[in-house]
Structure 1
Amino acid sequence: MRRERVVLLCLALLGLQQVSRATLRQSREIIITDAVRRIQNDGYNVERHSVTTKDGYVLTLHRIPQVDPELGSLLRRPVVFLLSGLYASSDVWLLNGREDSLAYLLWRAGYDVWLGNNRGNIYCRKNMWRNTTEREFWDFSWHEMGVYDLPAQVDYVLRTTGQKAMHFVGISQGGTVFLVLNSMLPQYNAVFKSATLLAPVAYVSNTKSGLAKVIGPVLGTRNYVSKMLEGVEMFSTNKFFKKFLSMTCLENEKPLVCISRLWPAVGYDTRFLNKTLLPDLMANFPAGGSVKQLMHYFQGYVSTRFRQYDYGPERNWLHYQQLEPPEYALEKVSTPVTVFFSENDYIVAPADIWRLLTRLPNVEAVYKVPWKRWNHFDFICGLGVREYIFDNIVISMNRYEQRRR
């Protein structure tokens, strides 16, 4: 009898374990590349908005508005616009959960939070005149995101909220896009109260990235291969594929297998990565884009400059009326800028950050994260993010709003 009770108890415990795993698995499934359901699942109000760029791309924005708890009406609050990095989407600002994600921290600090997206990712795969099977759809880099996508979204947000200016927070390529916009269209500096750039990518000549060192000399120069890849999609945005990646991480007892998929992008030192986020991370990154985005960075690695896309001498003359692409006029970026960087960043080396800072005319603050092993992806999914980076962002933005009153 005692042996039977033990067997029954073991079976019961095993059943509970399977139920808990199934519950966790189900919770992961419903939030794969779906920012609206994720935000609702975390207990916040959410809105989905669409905006069309001048060249026809239909972009999706996500908003976490301030709502009067009694009347249910929208409250007028300072606006902050968040833009993610290379091959990412608005979901990355939500991965740390309802307590520690920057989007929610800013909302709890009293801000009207808007999450932007760029052409080609999971939320922005429509164009008024082209479809995703055409090469022309994917013939863009982050330059077009800076001169078309970001201004269209900024104009829409200001028009919708009735505000005259906003705060900006961008990570990695999000910082690149911000710099492109304000150097190419300097009138937009007036609509940004402040800009916080987390590991912004501009100069990359000192990068530690193995991809840049191995593939950069090929894809960063004009040749048959790079020309063929200009109209090609990078990474699958298929939800079933992402579900498979997420479930593999969820079932795997050794997270190193999942982390290794990120090594080409973030580096091999991932000791600060919050490994409990791996299923969510694999479900939402990469979120899609073009090969040309990566090739534009490789061109910067080869040329050691931060400049527009290099089409080769003949096409450069047609595009720019000069044989080489022009450099971005960073001296025109007059928005007050705060920069965060790490000395261990696999993508953006400190030397490249300092080179960028010497060209920006209005740098308010520079923060080097205190953890020596902090890498590029830790700015979003690292342990200790809230205590240092996110809290400093909120404090600096609140300080600006207090000065304005």
Structure 2
Amino acid sequence: MVVTVTKTELATKKENEDETRKTVTTTVIKRATGYPVHVHQFMAILATCASLKIHVHNGGSHKIHSLDGEKESCWGTLVEKSLKHTEGSGNWWSLTLVLLPPQFLSVSSEPWIRGEALGRTKARAFPLSWLRVKMGLLGPATQGRKTLQPTNEGKTLSPLISDGMCKTMAETQGYACEEHKVTTEDGYILGLQRMPVGRFGKKADKPPVLLQHGLFMDGLTWIFNSPNESFGFILADSGYDVWLANTRGTKYSSDHKSLNPNDQVYWDWSWDELARYDLPAFVQYVYNYTGQRIHYAGHSLGTLIALAAFSQGQVLNMLRSAALLSPIAHMNQITSPPTKLAAHTFLADDVYWLGLREIIPNGDAAAKFVEGICHSLHLNCLDLVIPFTGPNCCVNSSKIDVYLDHLPQPTAAKNLIHLSQMIRTGIIARYDYGDLRQNMQHYGQPTPPMYDMAKIPNEFPLFLSYGGLDMLSDVRDVQLLLGDLKDHDGNKLVVLLKEDYAHMDFVLGVNAKQMIYDPLIDFFKEN
């Protein structure tokens, strides 16, 4: 079976307003015969202001479906069209098209990207066979990110930070702020912001607090809202020395000693590397800089990398305590429909084998695209995240423009593959290469090593808070984590359930100060 997506671009000449047509074969996917394929969903990112023709070939049959793009507005609307062909065996194919504006896509000098997947060695619900892909490379969207340029000495220049987080978000609210750079053992140069003084000039007289964001977010997570609602600002005003971490690949951590974010190898990491390299680098830097042991607070993925590091005995000697908000550890009970579907259909795996290593480009164009969808469909943009996070009760809808200016942040396809593995298996383990030889090469054993949460020292102070409506940090999964910690000292483990909270309420909720942050600060004071 061959699926061909053809894009006919309409280009208008300003001189005489004549339209010229250029036809580009964007994607060809060919399946070798004799191998069972039940379902394959492929997302083609194409431009609006175009005419589309989709040709579906299967044996002797030949179907053509036409879909006209929006001509009046290059932003257009989100268009989704599925083509299904039923074969005698009952197998079916689905092709999903999502139309994006040309401004969302950057231009690459390299016209083609080629990738091959040599099949899966493990059984899967929706297996893919030998896959050869030739697709028009639209290029990663680098808007909103500083692209690194090597010097003559072969070193990497850091981007200017005159438009960094301190200048744009902290100092505008009246907070003194410092920009710091941290280099990991594997060469990533990460941004770290410090707020050592409160809004009213109160200098920190309490220990440092390191704040770690979750997936598709960055350090701005903690200062998005007003000073009276944002945990980072609240801590600074309470006399704490506040440090905002930004994991690799995000806007303020896109540097590397030798790699460029446009290099595929730059994105060769999962949350294993965040736990092994990024988190220890942040903790060591803050510890060395301040000479004090640190309180840690993480949200979502920021809790997973902390738990993984703690279970390996990392960084604990430099920490006073840790707070886990919307904790992610066991994940096979999540109720988010699109997240479960993506995991069980191996969507991230397929994207990876198509040659795409970076997921969710950020920048102004992406935000405008999402805003355009919301406006055209008369939706509150916050409603779009409900199927992923759960119904957030208390996120400030008036701040949606601020959120969209900075979110979502990029991550690696390999990172999503790793999380999908956890959803399917229900275990907390290192990245599974899906191949005996590769697992042996990386781990010295045929299967990835497990992370054992029970190995976290029982005397280490933990604050754990979760929401009753959270679709990512499901109550049942959190109960499994608490089961792992059943031997933890009773006076060293504080558990707080907020029944009406979903995933984002813990960091963006307008009432989170009263519900979560005040009890958490009391916990810090006791430790």
Give the TM-score range, shorter chain.
0.7 to 0.9
Q: In the TM superposition, what whole-angstrom CA distance separates every residue of 1:296-316 from its partner, at most 9, and x where no partner exists?
A: 111001111011110022211
Matches within 5 A, 1:168-207: 168-184=296-312, 186-207=313-334
Query: Would the aligned equivalents of 2:198 and 2:237 in 1 still touch at CA under 8 Å?
Result: no
Residue identity in the other structure for 1:176: L
- 1:273 matched to 2:421? The reply is no
Q: Distance between the aligned counterparts of 1:240 and 1:198, measured in 2?
A: 31
Report how far residue 98 of structure 1 moved: 1.4
The counterpart of 2:250, out of the listed 108, 114, 121, is: 121
Is 1:155 aligned to 2:297, yes or no?
no
Matches within 5 A, 1:8-27: none
- How far apart are 1:332 and its partner, in Å? 2.6
Which among 295, 319, 325 is matched to residue 167 of structure 1?
295
CA distance in 1, matches of 2:248, 2:338: 23
Report deviation, 1:214: 1.3
The 2-side partners of 1:76 and 1:365 are apart by 24
Aligned partner of 2:339: which letter?
A
Please report how far the alpha carbon of residue 230 of structure 1 lies from its aligned counterpart in structure 2 after TM superposition: 7.9
- Alpha-carbon distance in structure 2 between the residues aligned to 1:375 and 1:69: 32
Contact 2:443 2:449 in 1 (8 A): yes
Relative distance call for 1:152 and 1:271 in structure 2 (3 A) is closer
8 Å contact from structure 1 (residues 341, 350) kept in 2: yes
CA contact (8 A) 2:337 2:388 kept: no
The within-5 A match list for 1:5-404 is 34-66=165-197, 77-163=206-292, 165-184=293-312, 186-219=313-346, 225=350, 227-228=352-353, 232-242=357-367, 244=368, 256-267=379-390, 269-312=391-434, 313-334=436-457, 335-360=460-485, 361-362=487-488, 364-371=493-500, 374-400=501-527
- The answer to whether the Cα contact below 8 Å between 1:246 and 1:278 also exists between their aligned partners in 2 is no
Cα separation, 2, equivalents of 1:292 and 1:282: 24
Deviation at 1:257, TM superposition (A): 3.5
2:247–2:253 CA contact under 8 A, matched in 1: yes
1:396, distance to aligned residue in structure 2 (A): 1.2
Tell me which amino acid in the other structure corresponds to 2:402: D
Q: TM-score, normalised by structure 2?
A: 0.64
- How many aligned residue pairs are there? 359
Gaps of 5+ in 1: 1-30, 401-405
Displacement, 1:76? 5.7
For the residues of structure 2 that align with 1:272 and 1:254, how far apart are their CA atoms?
23
CA separation of 1:343/1:75 partners in 2, compared to 1, >3 Å: closer, same or farther? closer
How far has the Cα of 1:97 moved from its partner? 1.1
Match of 2:61 in 1: none
- Structure 1 residues 41, 68: closer, same or farther in 2, change over 3 A? closer
1:240 Cα offset (Å) = 4.5
The CA deviation at 1:256 is 3.1
Contact residue 216 and residue 298 of structure 1 kept, 8 A = yes
Question: Is the Cα contact below 8 Å between 2:275 and 2:306 reproduced in 1?
Answer: yes
Cα deviation code 1:13-58 (max 9, x no counterpart): xxxxxxxxxxxxxxxxxx9983532101110000000011010000
Provide the TM-score with structure 1 as the length reference. Answer: 0.82
Cα distance in 1 for partners of 2:456, 2:371 equals 43
CA spacing shift, 1:272–1:207, aligned 2, 3 Å: same
Counterpart CA distance in 2 for 1:65 and 1:234 is 34
Q: Which amino acid aligns with 1:86?
A: L
Whether the 8 Å CA contact 1:66–1:76 is kept in 2: the answer is: no
**Structure 1: distance between partners of 2:172 and 2:208:** 23
SS in structure 2 opposite 1:86? Answer: coil
CA distance in 2, matches of 1:102, 1:64: 12
Structure 2 CA distance for partners of 1:276 and 1:217, relative to 1, 3 Å: same
Contact 2:230 2:508 in 1 (8 A): no
Q: Give the AA of the match of 1:342.
A: G
Rounded Cα–Cα distance in structure 2 between residues aligned with 1:368 and 1:345: 11
Asked if the contact 1:342/1:375 (under 8 Å) is kept, the reply is yes
CA offsets, 1:143-177, max 9 Å, x none? 100100010111111111122x1100000000011
Q: CA deviation at 1:68?
A: 12
- The amino acid that maps onto 2:307 is L
Question: Percent of aligned pairs with the same residue?
Answer: 28
Report the CA distance shift for 1:350/1:53 in structure 2 as closer, same or farther (over 3 A): same
Q: Which runs of 5+ in 2 are unaligned?
A: 1-161
Distance 2:369 2:163 in 1: 11
Name the one with the larger strand percent: 2
Partners of 1:187 and 1:135 lie apart in 2 by: 29
SS in 2 for 1:200: coil
C-alpha separation in 2, matches of 1:231 and 1:54 = 25
Looking at structure 2, the residues matched to 45 and 305 of structure 1 have their Cα atoms a distance apart, in angstroms, of 43
SS of corresponding position for 1:195 = strand
Residue 87 of structure 1 aligns to a residue in which SS? coil
